[in-house]
A and B are shown apart, each in its own frame.
Chain A
Amino acid sequence: MKVLLVCSQGMSSAIAAKALQDAAAKKGLEIEVHECSTQAFAEEIKNGYAIGMVAPQIRHRYDVLKQQADAAGIPCVLIQPQGYTPLGGAKLLAQIQNELGEIK
């Protein structure tokens, strides 16, 4: 399963991406996490992702990004602030499972 994290410039989301990847590996789940900037999101989300996740600090852009994800037919959620830290991988994972159901 592929997950796309989006933040202002694709920098800080890389940290959250790593946390998510680690949290998934701990549970033996296979998740591939990528990150991108808001400008690249509309194109990138088309590349076979299961879900798009928007960083909390750009929540004012969530509506626009959600539309872009909708256009690609991909679910899109706003990341909870508590999940957007190097220690928040488990929370991110829970949020994904909340949205998509249990991951196999």
Chain B
Amino acid sequence: MFDKFSTFMDEKLSTPMAKLAEQRHLRAIRDGIIATLPLIIVSSMFMVIAFLPNSMPTDWGITQFIAANQAKILLPYRVSMYIMTLYAVFGIGYSLANSYDLDGLSGGILAELGFLLTIIPASIGAPSEAVAALAAENADLANYLATIPSGFVLPMGNLGSAGMFIGILVAFFAVEVYRFTQKSGFKISMPPQVPSSVARSFESLTPTAIVLIVVATITMFLGINVHAIVGNIVSPLIKATDTLPSVLVLIFLVTFFWSFGIHGVSIVGSLARPLWLVLLEENTTAFAAGTAVTNIAAEPFYQWFIWIGGSGATLALALLFAFRSKSAYGKALGKTSLVPSIFNINEPMIFGAPIVLNPMLIIPFIIAPMVNGIIAYLLTSAGMVNAVVASAPWTLPGPIGAFLACGNDVRAALLNVALIVLDIVIYYPFFRMYDNNLLADEQEEA
């Protein structure tokens, strides 16, 4: 009965849905953004360092040194995570072009060009004589003027997560133009005698010209503020992602896919990661500026308070198998899966127990992360734990990752440990039942 039901669900629902996430544009977003993750994780750590003084005694020399140089320590973050869309757009263009069997590099460059055309450079001239005269009398004004660069500058605000959705759209547009010109023959073609490298350089002129003229016309010549328009459209979506119901829906989807043995986060993340990144980057920006951090449910929130030990909060289950199992199989499984689980790798658990298509373990596999999500969400919104502001490497053990991700908050580490204990309680009855079954099978065979 359950077999029929699960086969039906797998064939009719989970696998087709998973295949949908393999649609080439979604795949391009996923791969483009994943390519920026090392950059986000490493530059997040600069954030952690810059804000170490918050959790160290103020009279230490190192504390005072870091505090005095905070802005400087954050500069690498400003040219990496702070402007992550600039990097993601290249990756998206590259990946989408590759999926069409077009030159990835050209696709990446075209996408980047299109994106930068939505960022209007400002020209900053030297102060007028009147301003200079005022500055001569006012030291504050003189100091302020000294900090202003002259010449052309690119405002950085929309190069980060704020520009993420424009970046995605423009990357799609640029690569689709590229594809159209290549496939339709609507391009400058050279006679066959011309060397192929020269011919290619001319072929790439047409899509470049179209992207440049179309985007520049909209953003620069007509002066339409595309960032404001798209920002208004996606902001309700971003807000919705940050609510408890949507946290629970996403948890359900991820664990639902995993219940069929499909990598849930990689599917749900294809759609949700851009939104998660916007939430995280807004928090990081606010944290760096010393203003209130308002978002709760960015990706590190899931990583450190929900997916403890991997999707389904399976560290608890690995601990149970390792220390409470009576069956020989359970003991062997616990022994081999515990260490990977500590580092949040739980495929050994999911396929080994198995959790996949195993109703006895699927129930806590879905319930435990939901309970984690509710508790962590409520505690974070009540201010009992800092909201996440950094993206710590996901293979760190839970309490350490939680501490770092929440801006050096010891309470986050404690919450992580408390949730592991709670998950053990949730998993225990189901584990007991399943382990007894294993034991009975083993005794029957013996």
Binding site for B on A (CB under 8 A): 7-8, 11-12, 15-16, 39, 55-61, 63-64, 81-82, 84-88
Contacts and interface: CB of A to CB of B under 8 A. Distances in A.
Given A84-B351, A86-B336, A87-B333, A56 B345 contact: no
A39 B34 contact: yes
Given A57-B258, A60-B15, A60-B22, A86 B352 contact: yes
B397 interface: no
Interface in B2-34: 15, 18-19, 21-22, 27, 31, 34
Contact of B22 (A12, A61, A82): A61
B351 A82 contact: yes
Contacts of B332: 87
B313 to A, nearest CB: 17
B345 A85 contact: no
A81 B351 contact: yes
A60 B19 contact: yes
Contacts of B258: 57
Interface residues of B, number: 30
Contacts, number: 76
Contact of B261 (A16, A56, A63): A56
A64 B345 CA distance: 24
30 contacts: A7-B263, A7-B347, A8-B266, A11-B345, A12-B348, A15-B340, A15-B345, A15-B347, A56-B261, A56-B351, A57-B350, A57-B351, A58-B263, A59-B15, A59-B18, A59-B262, A60-B18, A60-B262, A60-B267, A81-B261, A81-B356, A82-B354, A85-B336, A85-B347, A85-B348, A86-B333, A86-B348, A87-B352, A88-B351, A88-B352
A57 B261 contact: yes
B337 interface: yes
Contacts of B356: 81
Contact of B266 (A15, A58, A64): A58
B329 to A, nearest CB: 8
Given A60-B267, A86-B352, 18 more contacts: A11-B345, A15-B345, A39-B31, A55-B347, A57-B258, A57-B350, A57-B351, A59-B261, A61-B22, A63-B19, A64-B22, A81-B356, A84-B347, A85-B347, A85-B351, A86-B333, A87-B336, A88-B352
Which of B15, B34, B332, B348 has the most chain A CB atoms inside 10 A of its CB?
B348
Contacts of B294: none
Contacts of B266: 8, 58
B395 interface: yes
A16 B337 CA distance: 11
Given A64-B22, A87-B332, A87-B336, A8 B263 contact: yes
Contacts of A84: 347, 351
B253 to A, nearest CB: 14
B57 to A, nearest CB: 37
Contacts of A88: 351-352
A104 B352 CA distance: 29
A29 B340 CA distance: 26
A61 to B, nearest CB: 6
B244 interface: no
B271 interface: no
A11 to B, nearest CB: 5
Contacts of B322: none
A80 B53 CA distance: 50
A63 B348 CA distance: 24
Interface string B326-338: 0000001100110
A86 B337 contact: yes
B177 interface: no
